[in-house]
Structure 1
Amino acid sequence: MSVRTVIEVLLNPFLARLIRSNQRHPLVLAAFFGLLALLAACDFSGARPRPNVLLIVLDTVRADHLSTYGYSKNTTPNLTALAGEGVVYERCLSPGSWTLPSHASLFTGLYPRDHKTTCELPRVLRRKYRTIAEVLAENGYATVGFSNNAWLNAATGLQQGFANFFDIWRERRPDGRSADGIDEGAATTNERIFRWLDHDTNRPFFMFVNYFEPHLPYRPPPPFDSKFVDANFDPIMVAEARGWFHPRELGYVLKVPGMEVTDSEFEVMHSQYDGEVAYLDARLGELIEGFRERGLLDNTVVIITSDHGEHLGDHEMMDHKMTLYDALLHVPLVIRYPPAVHQGSRVSAPVQLIDIFPTILDLCGIDEDQPEDSRLLPPSPQQAPPPRLSFAEFGRPTVFLEVMLKQYPGVEYSQFDRSLVAVNDGRYKLISGSDGRSELYDLHRDPGERNDIASENPDVVADLTNRLTDFQAKTPMQ
């Protein structure tokens, strides 16, 4: 019997008596239960103490625009340096293409099919679904979140389990900039994180951080605004691209006259998006260095990922709506934790965002039943498990259709009034719409998903359609 178990057995008979006798002394009770929380977080077996967990979401960052993933432009030197001390998962797939379902899956280890937090009402993660923050809190962890995305609010249920959650996005100016005008909140976020670390690290903690910079509009601060700008770019065109606010991108997607975007304009947008990524990478480096200076880094599981990618003209789309192409689903994933992760490794086997939930619990030594479809992330290429099917979903986009109708009345948008589900077997990927339209891609020969081969491969379509039917029949999305 462990020392922790002995403590629990000995204390249980006295809890009721303690509470009755100290009802008029709340400070005594608070001190006692604080001690219990510390004991619960301790490891009495002689092994290392439970680690802290730092889970970072680089919102709207697609993997193929990171130099860490082979991109030709040096957008992420700090992430690359960190990856040299950890493991890079080269094929991490998100189960959703936008914030709400992707974060709900990240926090629960469940597909959108199961947690049902999608575009459709009520757009809330229900209390019955346990989040990683809740599990860690129950095991003695301090839990804190810092978010720059308005979808991660108390009303959507994504703050379940966090003792403290800082909505940095509420401090933005009307133009979307942070109060200091520097960025979309990354600088302020780091300041708040360091302030919290300097006062609240007396027990293991779980910290979640959402950075927002690569979201539309793309307008990185100097010198990142010019870091990837070609000398031949028209300065007026650059200024216009930096002023593209939502829902301007919907005009392009809907092919509204006058809303066309030229190839040159997309080149400019790429330069500004890359500048946002590079700026965010600099802030990431600042954060990691802050952990290192405080002596926290080596006992912290650092996980860096994204909730989804971004369309930058791919498939004649912008932003991250209406599709399930890999421009939106292929996200970065880097983990650093020297005691358990092989340094400098790269895992090419496909993994999924839902795998982060059980992996955190395993690294923290917490025995908890993991969600059925998730599995532990391999700490090295040699330990990669056999391939499995991955799925992604996009519910009927009611919230986005409302914006389209209001902003561009009379424009045809019925082609987007459908839900989507995709299955990927490692080579072939089938995207199936509720309107009966399907697309098939050979990801080995066509990683950009430019050539739909559904009509040429009816057997593959039939097989993957059956896989999708089985997937949806398990717990149909409602």
Structure 2
Amino acid sequence: PDDEAETRFREASGLADVDFPLEDLDVLLVMVDATRFDRTSLADPARRTTPRLAALARRGALVHTRAMSPSNGTFHSLSAIFSMRPLSFSDVDLRQPRFWHGALRDERRLAPEVMRDAGRETFWVGHDHGHCFSEHALGLDRGFQRRVLIEEMADAPPRDVDAEIATAAIEELGRVRGRFFGMVFFASPHDPYWGGYDAELRRFDAALGRLLRAVDLRHTVVVVAGDHGEAFGDHGFAHHLTSVYDEQIHVPLVIWIPGLDGGRRDAPTSTAYLFPWLLLRGGEAEQAAARAVLREDVGPLMRELDGAVISEMIGPSRQEAALVWADTTVVYDVLSELPRVFDPRTDPTQRADLREEDEARVEHVLPFVDRYRRARFEGHRFRFVHMEDPR
């Protein structure tokens, strides 16, 4: 345990060290599937893919330019985000051989449960791509009093699912009567890419704009984040759940806080840090829940890894981790014990492995890779299980 975890988190999380009264504010988490930061208007204003998200940033939201998802798949990332811990230390059962399916065990309280128990109304409106949330990614609904899932099947005729999600979410916002925590999970731009990936992003952005117009931004914290990225042949991989190079884990993260000035923050951070960061600004019970997570898991890992942000892919035959610092990223193949070392400042697309060119840097980071490996194998809570397919 790390008795200095809260201080360490404030200094190393990469999130803004600002104060605001969470008890007096609603919270809306907007997730978007398979969204790369570098394909958004946040990364390049010349891209007209997400103009409404960019407008929220210009209005005063915080924009994190180096936010990493805790994993490269939906179930894995949400498990870590709700658990408020890296994936290895979340209570997940991963089904073999379909390791993107599984269940989140009920051994520890999730962030939505903490917020519900603090007296908030809680709801989830989002896609159910391939029956993901209704059948294959179980346990994520804990803490949500209401859930509305919009079915989407890859082999069905194309339709604007995100428009349907926005409509359902707006209806749900009209139902709440007190302080709330809600999650809205948009489907685009998950494959199949109807009209192309950028067209999918524009559909998401249009739905986001409708949703934001229905939100009282004077009294609501709004977080917009990607659950993971997407590869298009980068480094020889496609889609997601295939590597932890940046294209699969570097996601947009925009945070609107009423009354606070925003700006761009370039420090590495993780979307798994969102709920501890929020709950530290809540009531006594919410603060206590956040401090317990920080002391037990997040703080000790930050201490051991010099503040590295962790993103993990965990499968029965392929396991990788990205350790991300401001000046160095290590993409580590856990099973072969092979690290690849990159400088994100000069090589943002991760093409130049520095193992043979920068011995001093490699010698500096290798002890942290060893510490990560030891912590992962000694303290992990994930399990591989054989589970019956409900179909």
Same fold (TM over 0.5): yes
- Using the TM superposition, give the Cα deviation of residue 321 of structure 1 relative to its aligned residue in structure 2, in angstroms: 2.2
2 CA distance for matches of 1:287 and 1:103? 21
What are the superposed Cα offsets for residues 382-434 of structure 1, whole Å, 9 maximum, x if unpaired?
A: xxxxx8211111112x4xxxxxxxxxxxxxxxxxx321122122222222211
Alignment partners' CA distance in 2, 1:117 and 1:211: 23
Equivalent residue in structure 2 for 1:175, among 155, 160, 163: 155
Match of 1:420 in 2: 320
* Equivalent-residue separation in structure 1 for 2:346 and 2:170 (angstroms): 46
- Say which structure is richer in helix: 1
2:244 counterpart residue number = 324
TM-score of the aligned structures, taking structure 1 as reference length: 0.66
Once the two structures are superposed, the pairs formed by residues 44-443 of structure 1 within 5 Å of their partners are: 50-70=24-44, 72-85=46-59, 86-117=61-92, 119-121=94-96, 123-149=102-128, 150-153=131-134, 156-169=138-151, 172=152, 175-177=155-157, 182-183=159-160, 185-198=161-174, 200-219=175-194, 225=195, 272-291=196-215, 296-339=216-259, 341-343=260-262, 345-365=263-283, 366-370=286-290, 371-372=293-294, 374=298, 388-396=307-315, 398=316, 417-433=317-333, 434-443=335-344
Q: Which amino acid aligns with 2:141?
A: Q
Following TM superposition, by how much is the alpha carbon of 1:302 offset from its aligned partner in structure 2, in angstroms?
Answer: 0.4
Distance 1:207 1:75 in 2: 25
8 Å contact from structure 2 (residues 28, 183) kept in 1: yes
Is the 1:358–1:374 Cα contact (8 Å) retained in structure 2? Answer: no
Contact 1:440-1:453 within 8 A present in 2 as well: yes
Name the residue aligned to 2:13.
none
Matched residues, number:
338
With over 3 angstroms needed to count, the CA separation of the structure-2 counterparts of 1:282 and 1:436, relative to structure 1, is same
| Contact kept in structure 1, 2:230 and 2:239, CA below 8 Å | yes
Query: Aligned partners of 2:214, 2:278: CA distance in 1, in Å?
Result: 22
For the residues of structure 2 that align with 1:134 and 1:55, how far apart are their CA atoms? 15
Larger deviation: 52-61 or 81-90?
A: 81-90
Alpha-carbon shift at residue 460 of structure 1 (Å): 3.3
- Identity fraction in percent: 27
Q: Deviations over 1:86-123 (max 9, x none)?
A: 11111111121111111111112100110153755582
- Determine which structure has more spread, i.e. the larger CA radius of gyration: 1
2:247 maps to amino acid: A
1:187 partner amino acid: A
Counterpart code for 1:132: A
Secondary structure at 1:368's aligned position in 2? helix
In the alignment, the residues of structure 1 paired with residue 108 and residue 133 of structure 2 have an alpha-carbon distance, to the nearest angstrom, of 16
Q: Which amino acid is the alignment partner of residue 236 of structure 2?
A: E
- Following TM superposition, by how much is the alpha carbon of 1:282 offset from its aligned partner in structure 2, in angstroms? 0.7
The one-letter code matched in structure 2 to 1:68 is L
Higher normalized strand content (fraction of residues): 2
Q: Is the 8 A contact 2:270 2:310 kept in 1?
A: no
Q: Cα distance, 1:364 vs. partner?
A: 3.8
| Structure 2 counterpart SS, 1:92 | strand
> Kindly tell me: are residues 322 and 358 of structure 1, through their superposed partners in 2, closer, same or farther at Cα, counting changes over 3 Å?
same
Q: Which of 1 and 2 has higher RCO (CA within 8 Å, sep 6+)?
A: 2
SS at match of 2:356: helix
Classify the secondary structure of the residue corresponding to 2:223: strand
Aligned-pair CA distance for 1:336: 0.9
The CA distance in 1 between the partners of 2:243 and 2:287, in whole Å, is 37
Paired with 2:154 and 2:86, the residues of 1 have a C-alpha distance of 35
Higher mean C-alpha displacement, 148-157 vs 210-219? 148-157
CA-based RMSD of the aligned residues comes to: 2.3
Counterpart amino acid of residue 371 in structure 2: D
Which residue identity does 1:360 align to in structure 2? L
**CA separation of 1:148 and 1:290: change in aligned 2, threshold 3 A:** same
